[in-house]
Amino acid sequence: MPKNDYLCGWKTINRPEEQDMILEKIERLKAEVAGLTAATAEEAEALRIKYLGKKGALSELMAEFRQVAAEEKKTVGMKLNELKALAQERINQVRQSAESASEVSDGDLDLTRTPYPIPLGTRHPLTVVRNTIVDIFSRLGFTLAEGPEVEDDWHVYSSMNFAPDHPARDMQDTFFVESRPDVILRSHTSSVQSRVMERQQPPIRVICPGRVYRNEAISARAHCFFHQVEGLYVDKDVSFADLKQVLLLFAREMFGPDTKIRLRPSYFPFTEPSAEMDISCHLCGGRGCSFCKHTGWVEILGCGMVDPAVLDANGIDSTIYKGYAFGMGIERITNLKYQVKDLRMFSENDARFLAEFQAAN
């Protein structure tokens, strides 16, 4: 259709091109409005004036709208209303977020206020008991020694006088690395004793706490890892009586001043003679109860005089020096103190279980 068919006096705006232009403007403004932002309430107000104010963009469009041809007014009017609603909504949003942001920076934010109460964490029961053990031996002059959990055969077994065919090396007990048969996860912390001796001449007085691994089926009474504390004392003139005295003192500090100990002969490759130590049952005072299986005694650790072969293998002259060693499971001591029935509780980290040790912390 030729252009001038629509010429009707001065109202040239009625041409379709002009209507297209107003629709285009509306679309452009819609996109503009949707992307509006303001950092402060004042900026939001300036936007309101710019778009919705008396001389704002929408008022200008209204003026143009009046000149749109009658038959097009409905379509264009609807678009205009949409734009107006959008602009009002967006500017309100922008104002609200600017206001709430400025509320924070207005100094209402009090960083010293106590937050919502967060339950206080507690030390893990094994850590509590480990620290108690370390503390008792520290007072007796023992220092702390730690070593790697991923070990080699020498430090875990050979230097500790284990025969090459000792069953502890068997796949049943030890985690081996298939591609590197010499690499193992330590099955006891005696490896740390070996590492201390190869680096240091006597007097040696160390305790070695740490995690150890054994290939056992996981149940209430066994796990594939647990924690130990081992002790080593090497000097001239060290006797079994020294060992006994130190362990008695430890037992009394740990389980109470009335605790009695008894030593039963035992066997370990690295000690000779070796013994298993029991304490009088701290629940029934030695009278006999279900906990001590009515014997009045509960086993707590292994110990003995360091086998001279171990001293020699680790570079210490066994004709000059003697030593004693002992080793205990931290889980076992913890069980004796707190009667935890299921060993798995220690590694599940159930907050309800851990919270029961609040008082011990």
CB 230 → ligand PHE: shortest distance, Å? 5
Among 95, 169, 188, 205, binds ligand PHE (CB under 6 A): 188
By CB under 6 A, residue 130 contacts ligand PHE: no
Residue located via tokens 């030390």:
123
By CB under 6 A, residue 304 contacts ligand PHE: yes
By CB under 6 A, residue 303 contacts ligand PHE: yes
CB 321 → ligand PHE: shortest distance, Å? 17
Query: How many residues line the site for ligand PHE (CB under 6 A)?
Result: 11
CB 311 within 8 A of CB 271: no
By CB under 6 A, residue 278 contacts ligand PHE: no
The sign of the torsion formed by the CA atoms of 168, 170, 172, 173 equals positive
Helix H or strand E segment including 23: helix 16-34
Q: Which of these ranges, 53-61, 93-101, 287-295, 297-305, lies near ligand PHE under the rule CB under 6 A? A: 297-305
By beta-carbon proximity to ligand PHE, the closer residue of 65 and 268 is: 268
By CB under 6 A, residue 230 contacts ligand PHE: yes
Residue located via tokens 């906990």:
291
By beta-carbon proximity to ligand PHE, the closer residue of 213 and 255 is: 213
By CB under 6 A, residue 174 contacts ligand PHE: no
By CB under 6 A, residue 325 contacts ligand PHE: yes
Query: How far apart (Å, rounded) are the C-alpha atoms in residues 30 and 61?
Result: 13
DSSP bridge pairs for 326: 231, 303
Strands 225-235, 261-268: pairing is unpaired
**DSSP secondary structure string, 300-335?**
EEEEEEEPHHHHHHTT--TTT-EEEEEEEEHHHHHH
What does the binding site for ligand PHE look like in residue numbers (CB under 6 A)? Answer: 188, 190, 230, 268, 271, 302-304, 325-327
